[in-house]
Amino acid sequence: AVSATSDPSGPWHKYRFNVDADAAFDFDIDSPNIAVDDQTVYLTADFFGPDKYLIYTVDKAPVLEGAANPTTNSLLLINEQSWGLAVSYDNPPAQYTIEAGLGFSETTVILRAITDPFGSLNIDEYVLTVPAYQFPEDPPSQGTTERPELFEARFWSCMYRNGYLWATHHVNSARVRQRWYQIAMNGWPAGGTPELVQWGEVDPGSPVRTFFGSIWADEQNNMSMTFARS
């Protein structure tokens, strides 16, 4: 849905896309996501049987005007799920994504660059070494033995601005903590290769856990985060 004016209480242009055929007629959908750059709306979701990841692109300009049939494109990837989809605040060389390893202990994340969104939907891949992280613990909650499910170390919040990819996920099996990264993309895939600039973990000290975070940076590269804690 896109607001028709600058007033969010006014009319909206609303869209619904049938992706049954794109997802190989799999009716189980999970972890939907959205990102927007200067030209394209990116919609993604997980499907099952086997694991599948659908990338769906929508031409941005027509939907801003409420056009009935905007140009779309799609790509279905088998045995892939839950890439972090970066929201872009300026004009990136590609639509970036970031994926965490799902093993018990990992030392890399996978960066991907999506180009030609209304043509062949090209995807370049780069494996970036980061400090070791573990499959996250489900944190305890006060007054109950039940624990919230943290759904692995997957990325749900990331953004691109000023040439940097900012991303966050929860990690560590002994005491889960929210981790963040600042990654210089260096014009990749057309220019240089990505490199880790800095990283950290939100750690108020034991026994506090931090998890389910989101991240944002302003035009001066000041970063802020939100997160849950127990």
Whether the predicted pLDDT of 157 surpasses 90: yes
Within 101-220, residue ranges assigned H as helices are: none
- pLDDT of 3: 95
pLDDT-based confidence at residue 134 (cuts at 50, 70, 90): very high
DSSP string, 21-66: TTTTT---EEEEEEEE-SSEEEEEEEETTTTEEEEEEEEHHHHHTT
DSSP 86: P
Average pLDDT of the residues of the chain:
94
| Stretch 117-130: mean pLDDT | 97
Instruction: Please state the pTM of the whole predicted model.
Output: 0.94
**What burial class does residue 89 get, using C-beta atoms within 10 Å of its C-beta: 0-12 exposed, 13-18 middle, 19+ buried?**
middle
- pLDDT of 20: 83
- The beta-carbon contacts of 42-46 under 8 Å, at least 24 apart in sequence, are 42/85, 42/95, 42/114, 42/117, 43/17, 44/83, 44/85, 45/19, 46/81, 46/82
Which tens digit of pLDDT belongs to each residue from 52-110? 999 999 999 999 999 999 999 999 999 998 999 999 998 899 999 999 998 899 999 99
- Angle made by CA atoms 221, 98, 175, in degrees to the nearest 5: 85
Whether the predicted pLDDT of 123 surpasses 90: yes
Q: Which two tokens stand for residue 147?
A: 């624990």
List the one residue out of 228, 220, 62, 92 whose CA is nearest residue 165: 92
Phi, psi of 62 (to 5 degrees): -65, -35
pLDDT-based confidence at residue 42 (cuts at 50, 70, 90): very high
- pLDDT of 226: 98
Whether the predicted pLDDT of 120 surpasses 90: yes
> Could you give the CA distance from residue 9 to residue 1 in angstroms, rounded to a whole number?
13
